[in-house]
Every structure is written in C-alpha cells, then in structure tokens.
Structure 1
Amino acid sequence: MKKISLLVLSLVLVCMGVSLTTGHLNGEKNVVYAAKNLGDSARIEWGVTNQDLVSTDGVEYPAGQKVARFTRLDQKPTGPYYLKLKVELVFGFGHGEVADKYVTSKETKVVKLDSKGYTATDTEIHSEAGAYGPLKPVKEEMKPEGNYIKDGRYVTYSNKNYNTYSNFGWKYRLSGSSLQNKTFQARGKYNHQNGSTYLSLYDNKGTWYGYVNEKAVKVGSGQQGAYIKDGRYVTLTNKNYNSWSNFGWKYRDSGANLANKTYQARGKYNHSNGSTYLSLYDNNGKWYGYINEKGTKAGNGKQGAYIADGRKVKLIKKNYQLWQNFSWKKCQDSNKLVGKTFTARAKYYHVNGSTYYSLYDDKGNWQGYINSEGVR
C-alpha cells in the first residue's frame, strides 16, 4: 500500500496570484470554498476516523485521521467528511471523502475566515480529493465477497444445481433441489471477486436461507416472484377461490363464475407467501386473471381434469360420435346406442366449452367419450 501523502501546490502559484477555490464541500457539487461564498465565517464539524481506511488508488489512512466538513452558517453540516490537512506552502488537499459512519468524536464550531477563505488556524479541507473517491475500510476491501449491497428484489429459485452457503468460506447450507421453484427476497447482495454475484435470501417470515449465486434465480417484479412458463390445462374445481387482476390483489372474477370450466395456465408464479398462482386463458385467448393453484386440478390435455361422476345417463341423440380419446379418434357412433342407459363414471369440462362423459355399460365395458348434449 502507498503511504499517506500530502498534495501541495507550488509556491509559484502564489507568486502568480492564482487562487484555487474549487471543491465539493458538504457534499454539494461546485461549491466554492472562498469568503465570497461562505461569508467571513463558516460552520465546521470536526471528527476523527474510527477505523483504518484505504483510497481507490491504494493509499492507507490509519484510524485517528482528522476529518472535517464545512457548511454555511445557516446550514447544518451534512454529507461526507474530508481529510483535514495542515497548510504547508499554500494549502493541502484531502485524499478522499469519508462516510459519516466511519467518523467519531464530532465537534461543531464556527470559525472566522480570512479574505481568501482560509481559517485562522491555517487548516483546510479542500475536496479536490474527491477525485480519489470515497475511502473504504481496509478490512472490507480485503474481503473476497466485497461489501454488502442493499437489494430488496424478489427472486424465484430456478436452477437446482446451485446450493446455498452459510458464509463465504463456502460452508454448505441448503441444497438447490430443496429450494427449487420457491420465491425469496434478496435483501442484500455481494459482488464477489470471483466475478459472480451472491444474493442473501430470506423468506416472507424473515428466515434466512443463505447466500446463493445469482445465476440460480430469476428476478420477479414483486413478491409473486418470476414468471414461469407453464402451458397445462386446468379445471377450476373449487368455487371459493377468486381470480385477481394483479398481485396487489385487485379482484377480477368470482370462483363461482369460473368453477367447472377448463382454462390454459400459460404461466405461473411461485409467490413468496408459499402459494402458486396460475395465469388463466380460455380457448379464445381471453385472460381470466391469476388464481391460486389450490382452486384447480390439472388435466392431461385440453379436456381438463378427470372428475369422478357415477350418474346413470340415457343416450338420446343419433349421429353423436363417441371418441376413443381427446385427439378425436373415433370409437363408435351413437345410432345403435340410442335409448340405452350407461354409467358416466367420469366427466371432463373441455376447454372448448363442452362437457364429455366417459360411458360404461352395465357389464363394465367402456363405450367411449361423448358430448353431454347427446345424453340425459
């Protein structure tokens, strides 16, 4: 590391009458440190650094360095501090700004300025040092994971091949397979020196799940987590679940209106509250909102879910085809079966809007699927 150095302007500048007055005092850009801006007095807050700091160019500053920040008399000192350097030939420059949390033993005073804007004690703060960037703790600089960065995004675990860790010594915490498809809040993140970013994961109850490589997750736009492509056909089987227009829980449609119909779940969200929400569309592409997966039952195709029935039905119409499957492979027509009674062991609420019964005769022989309009 480089040793502390004092940047000094050449005495030639004084001889030439040059006055360098630019700086970033009190965190304000382009504030000029001179009597014409601050008046003949200024408010200065003094302090000392409470830990070893390092600049972006590698200069180390041991704890105990004097720092200060300036403001006009009618303002309270705020913003970063700067290193306080004693004037030698003309005046010195600080080597960087110091965050408030690294400063202790503060004392605020009002000091008189001379005609050039200097203090009576010949000690100055000139933030030309801002070019060096903020000073950071030496110990944090040495951490391979870097500094903690506040985040807050909601992410869905999408790659089970990434485990979580309890620390950056890579102590194993949880398997990726146990966290797959769950949504967490990334309260913070670390940009590791290995080139990867690691997220600190919490569930909605505040339980910590460890650090995970950001490559393991997909970012969502809210607590619902990331959009996951689905495509299944689901039948609404529970009228107590309404649908929602957004995840601010704006009501869209009642479960009673949606029950006993089949929709395509084009996408889903594994919400941080532990529930999965499906994005429903009908056969014409109309959107019906988000619904809790618990209100549905998934089917093996556009016919929707198998629903046990058991009623006795009489075939009443000719020219109704009985189907072998829902790819519409013919089984037999209804003409020779008209007037006969069958058992509808199951039914399907097809996405096309029709209901189909699975018919069996009294000997248990399967007859095929028939549109419910062909029987009564």
Structure 2
Amino acid sequence: MFKKILLFSTILSTIGISNISIVNAKENQSTIVNDCSINFNSEWSKAKKEGYTKEQFNNIMSIPKQPIINSHNLMEKREMLSPQQSSVLNTAKKYLGVPYVWGGTSPSGFDCSGLVQYVYKEAINLSLPRVTTEQEKCGKDVSLNNLKVGDLLFWGDKNNTYHVAIYVGNGQYIHAPQPGETVKYGEIKYWKPDFARRVLPESSLSPIRCDNFMTIISNNTDCYTDKTLTKVKQSSKNLYQKTLHATNYIINNDGKKYYELYNNKKEFQGYLCESALKISDYGSAGSFISDDYYIKIHPKGNNAKIWKDLELKNSIGTAQDHVNEIYHVKGHYNNFNGYTYLSLYDSNDKWFGYVNRLDCLEVSSVLNDHHSYKKYGTIINTGFNIYKDTMLKKAISSTNKYLNKTVYIRGYYDAYDNHRYMSIFEEDKSDLDDGLKWIGYVDSDALKLSDLEGDSKEGVPFKQKPNTLVSVQKDNIAIWKDLNFTQQLGVIEKNHWYEIKNKYHHFNNDWYASIYDVNRQNGERTFIGYANMDALKIEEYNFGEYHPLKKMVIVAKKDTKYGLYTHQSLSADCMINNSLNMAGNTYYAQGYYDRIPTEDNKKGGRFYSIRESKDGKWLGYMRSTAFEPIK
C-alpha cells in the first residue's frame, strides 16, 4: 500500500500538483509530495550526468518528506558514545542545512553518499568509497534492531542501493534526501531502511589507519608506550621539531587523537597527542622552522649538493663551488631522512638553495679579517645603521645622529654582503689612553674620507657658494696654518671681512673655515689660514644662482651709478670703476646673477660677470642694464 502511495505522489508532482498530504491511516505514516518547483526533466538530466541510473533517480525523487523535526522533538539522551561515535555525530550535525546537489561532495552541496564520505573523512579520517553501491560493502552487517551511533543505513536491494544515511541514535538519522531539500534529520518510524552496516571500530582504542608525516611542535608532552596511554616512553622534548611517520592513530576517551609514530629507521617512538604535533608542511621534507643566523659553506665531502627542491631531486650545484662563502639562514627543515636542510639567502637577500646542515659551519661574525686603516672621514649620508656587534644585528644608532661629524677610522672589514664596514671613533678627552671613544661599525658608503694623508683631523671640505663673505665677530681670533693646529699664523680682527671657500667639521667637533683676504680693487684672493667658525658670521648677499651667458657686450650707459664691483657685496670699497669711464668699450659677459635686494642693500636686479675678452682677465660685476649686445 505504501509503495502505491509513493508512486501516486510522484505522478501528482510530475503533473504540477504540490503540497498534498497523503496519509496511510493503517500504518500511521505520512508523506508530503515534492514541491512543484522541482522540474523532473531538469533533475533527471543532472542526475544522469553524475552517473545515476533511472531507477535510482526515480527512487530518490520518491523519498517521502517527513514531518519537520524540531529541536524539542529530538531525543538527545543516547547511550554512552565512544570518541569516534561522538566525532561522527558532531561532524554530521555541523552540516545540517547544507543544500542537496546531485554528485555533491563538499559543504557547498551534498548528495547522500557525498555527505557520508565527507563526514567520516573529516571526523575520524576514515576513507569511504564515493557511491552507495560501494559504501554498502564497507564494514559488516548489523541488525536494524541493534543499531549504534555511526552505523550506515541503506535503502534499496543489496548491490543496487540508492540512498544512505548516518544513524545518530534514538531511531534518528542524518541524511541528504533529494533536490529542493537540505541535510536534515529523519526518523526510522517514518521511513525504514532496508539494511545497515557498521564501519566504526568496535573499540575506541582500535587503531585507525593513516599515512602522514608529522612535525613535533611541543617539547613537554609525554609519549606513551602503548594504546592504553598509561606508561610514558619518553618526552616529546627528545623529538621536538623532528619529522616522524604516523601510521595509525587511536581516539582516547577524552576524544583526542594519539598518533603512533616511527622514525626513518622504522623504530617506534611512541603514541603522541595530536596537540603536540602537526601534519608536515612538505610531507617527508618536514615543516619550515624560522631561523636568523649566518653560516659558512664547509662541505664534509666532494659530493655535497645544493638543492633546488625539498624532494632533493634537483641539484643546482655542489657545495665545493662555494667553500667559505657566507650565507644568511632564514629557516630550516628537519627531513624524515634524519638530516636538516638549511634555506640559504645570499648577500643580496636572494634565495640561494637548500644545503645539508652538516656541510655548513655557523659563524660568529659576518665581518671578515680586520684591516688597519688609521684615517679620518666625515659622515655625509643619513639612513645607515651603526652596529655594536660583528653579526650586524644590533643597531645601536644611525648616521642621522652623526651627520657631518668627522670620525677616526681605526680599521675596516669586508663583510659577507660585499660592503665594507668601518670601525669608527669619536674624540673623548676623558679617555687617558688615546682620547678616543668607539662608536661602532658603519657601512663605508655613509662616509667620505679625508683627502689628506696621515693624521689630518679636519675631515672633508664642505664647499661654500662662490664669494661667500664672513665678518669677524670677536677680537683676536687665531688663524692657523693647518687644522692639526701645528702653527698659529696670527689673528684676525673684529669687524674685518673675509671670504671663505670651504668649511670643515673638525674631529674636535668644532667647525672651521678656510679664510681668504680679498683685494677689493682687483678681486684677487689670498689664502691666510683657518679660523674657528664660532667667531665668524656668514653675510648673505642674495646673488642667487649663476647662469652662463657667453656673449660680447658693449657698455652703452654713461653714468657713475653703474659701478663695476669686484665682490658680490657691492660695497663702495670694492667698486673699481663705472660705466661713465667704460662707455663704448666691449667686454665678454661670461654669465649673470639675479640679485634679490635686501633691507641693507637695495641693489637688486641682474648683474653680469665680465671679462676683458673671452680668455681675458676677469674684471667684476656690473648691472646688465649698462650694456647692449653687439650687433
């Protein structure tokens, strides 16, 4: 009678009559015919594509809809479950509500056998076949009167089943019914299976087969001698970060997995809890373990290889070709073969290859042999670290702090990164030995070395703008022959003006300038020595940038107000002529300046720098409006 009702419901659904409830009062069973939104022909096309027979399809489409089972209808009181049963039950419940999809095998959509296969693999790592006709052959037959949580329920004749569900106790099961529905609960009293199979081990301590390479990530977990987990074999400290082979695991009463581990010699290492290990990132090659140190290639034999891959199949050279070269170790892998392979990077931070740790020596310094130097230099570039250690890891400062400072370089080292590192010192008058205080190691690119040989402490020159004038602000300022202060040449007087060409940041931390006396009549400069900049004030004349001109001009103005000056100060004492006396004469204008007037000096505008001729004597500066070009 029930089969006739199912056939009738299918016909009604096909012709478009939906949501009709048909009740078999005698058997007190109920079914709700499928929603008319399901297109029979379309569904058959999808099912056929996934390999279903027409008979299986018809049976699946005829699965009766059961009354909705609410949470308060569920009988949650179940027999004491093993860890494996609990894992299957909880995993199956996690996918309630996932839509039915023909051939579906993932949480985006399941069919009945796809759900079963996925749940058992995730829950207890048990690999079941894909389809019901193969799944029904797994495990052993079990009476429908003696079902346990985790048993598989099948509908259809043996070798020709069309539906499978997971028994969850209390006469209930979880399954993926048919198109238009989702993974849900069902009850045997509404739709009884034809037979059942038990695929779970009878005992929770029965080993479950696996084949994984595991990395030990705990160093304080006990490893046990047998499945009872009562006797400790060793601590995971002895196995820490090693790669071992897991052949089986058991699920203990606490619900945790314990893996049976072996080394590459097939020696049993113990049962270890899942929380103390992880599946290796790269199989037998192990997992990446971060490092930060340096090694020198030092092969033990002539056949030591540099590997391109962790499978150790592709060699990119021999270690012999790189003897004593230094590389940066950023990580390593503890291979199942018992060896450790280092991941090396070269001086340009480019990956170099994998090398067996036995063919390397850890170095305590990336700086090679010390070379005596004993010269002075000046820090001219920012952004360089200053290190205290020979591994160049501990940056204690940067060149930003010491910019323009002159330092003493006692020696240098050529480092693994092909850079030269200087050992630099500053003056320390409190040091009674040599008056020096060590700063650290710095890249030579941060420095400019003094041009002078020997013990010159002046540092490098900082060139000043042409015609930079200074005025003396104090009386009796010493003028020196050199910046080692070997001879005082005299003094310069307050309020006197001089020209400077270079400034120097001396090793004693003071600034000094090279001083020139300027003949205001002919513009000649005479070097008179070095003076401390503390006593000097730079005078600004706002002459701006120099622009080349290179053309012959004639003086067209006859006026004393157009003076010829030998200095950019344009002061009266450096005016040596004027356009009244020079009118009608031709000169070579080699370039010009656009001068900005100031409150102290209103003489703004363009000024030519002129010579008697192209290769003749330089004469001075005159306002451009005094000239006309020669036509």
Q: Hey, what does 1:62 align to over in structure 2? A: none
Are 1:32 and 2:68 an aligned pair?
no
Are 1:258 and 2:317 an aligned pair?
no
Q: Distance in 2 between matches of 1:334 and 1:130?
A: 81
Deviations 1:127-176 (A, max 9, x none): 477324663378x3442x4x533322212222111121122321211211
Q: Distance in 1 between matches of 2:353 and 2:271?
A: 34
8 Å contact from structure 2 (residues 142, 198) kept in 1: no
8 Å contact from structure 1 (residues 218, 226) kept in 2: no
Deviations 1:190-230 (A, max 9, x none): 34442322221111121111210122123321212111001
8 Å contact from structure 2 (residues 374, 408) kept in 1: no
Correspondent of 1:223 among 275, 278, 284 = 284
Map 1:45-194; keep pairs closer than 5 Å: 80-81=136-137, 127=161, 130-132=164-166, 135-136=197-198, 140-143=201-204, 145=205, 147-170=206-229, 171-194=231-254
Deviations 1:281-318 (A, max 9, x none): 012211111000111111235448xxxx9xxx996x66
Question: Tell me, what secondary structure is at the counterpart of 1:32?
Answer: helix
Question: Tell me, what secondary structure is at the counterpart of 2:283?
Answer: coil
Correspondent of 1:270 among 309, 334, 342 = 334
Q: Which moved more, 1:157-166 or 1:325-334?
A: 325-334
Correspondent of 1:333 among 406, 410, 413 = 410
Question: Tell me, what secondary structure is at the counterpart of 1:184?
Answer: strand
Are 1:196 and 2:256 an aligned pair?
yes
Higher relative contact order (CA 8 A, sep 6+): 1
8 Å contact from structure 1 (residues 153, 219) kept in 2: yes
Q: Distance in 2 between matches of 1:17 and 1:333?
A: 99
Segments of 5+ residues of structure 1 without an aligned counterpart are 1-11, 21-27, 35-53, 58-76, 86-91, 99-116, 119-123, 336-347, 357-367, 372-376
Q: Once the 2 structures are TM-superposed, how far is the Cα of residue 332 of structure 1 from its aligned partner?
A: 5.7
Q: Which of the pair has more CA radius of gyration?
A: 2
Normalising by the residue count of structure 2, what TM-score does the alignment of the two structures yield? 0.33
The alpha-carbon distance between structure 1 residues 217 and 351, as it changes in their structure 2 partners (threshold 3 A), is farther
Q: Once the 2 structures are TM-superposed, how far is the Cα of residue 354 of structure 1 from its aligned partner?
A: 6.3
Are 1:213 and 2:273 an aligned pair?
yes
Q: Hey, what does 2:293 align to over in structure 1? A: 232
8 Å contact from structure 1 (residues 231, 266) kept in 2: yes
The alpha-carbon distance between structure 1 residues 244 and 83, as it changes in their structure 2 partners (threshold 3 A), is closer
The alpha-carbon distance between structure 1 residues 302 and 190, as it changes in their structure 2 partners (threshold 3 A), is farther
Q: Hey, what does 1:248 align to over in structure 2? A: 311
Q: Distance in 1 between matches of 2:241 and 2:6?
A: 69
8 Å contact from structure 1 (residues 83, 125) kept in 2: no
Q: Distance in 2 between matches of 1:333 and 1:247?
A: 45
Q: Hey, what does 2:76 align to over in structure 1? A: none
8 Å contact from structure 1 (residues 94, 125) kept in 2: no
Normalising by the residue count of structure 1, what TM-score does the alignment of the two structures yield? 0.53
Q: Once the 2 structures are TM-superposed, how far is the Cα of residue 15 of structure 1 from its aligned partner?
A: 6.4
Q: Once the 2 structures are TM-superposed, how far is the Cα of residue 320 of structure 1 from its aligned partner?
A: 9.0
Q: Hey, what does 1:105 align to over in structure 2? A: none
Question: Tell me, what secondary structure is at the counterpart of 1:209?
Answer: strand
Q: Once the 2 structures are TM-superposed, how far is the Cα of residue 269 of structure 1 from its aligned partner?
A: 0.7
Q: Once the 2 structures are TM-superposed, how far is the Cα of residue 93 of structure 1 from its aligned partner?
A: 12
Q: Distance in 1 between matches of 2:233 and 2:221?
A: 11
8 Å contact from structure 1 (residues 278, 291) kept in 2: yes
Q: Distance in 2 between matches of 1:276 and 1:320?
A: 47
Q: Once the 2 structures are TM-superposed, how far is the Cα of residue 252 of structure 1 from its aligned partner?
A: 1.5
Deviations 1:346-371 (A, max 9, x none): xx984223699xxxxxxxxxxx99x9
Question: Tell me, what secondary structure is at the counterpart of 2:255?
Answer: coil
8 Å contact from structure 2 (residues 347, 417) kept in 1: yes
Same amino acid, percent of matched pairs: 23
Q: Once the 2 structures are TM-superposed, how far is the Cα of residue 13 of structure 1 from its aligned partner?
A: 2.4
Deviations 1:72-111 (A, max 9, x none): xxxxx966348599xxxxxx9998669xxxxxxxxxxxxx
Are 1:351 and 2:416 an aligned pair?
yes
Aligned residues: 252
The one-letter code sitting in structure 2 at the alignment partner of 1:300 is S
Question: Tell me, what secondary structure is at the counterpart of 1:257?
Answer: helix
The one-letter code sitting in structure 2 at the alignment partner of 1:202 is Y
Q: Distance in 1 between matches of 2:307 and 2:234?
A: 33
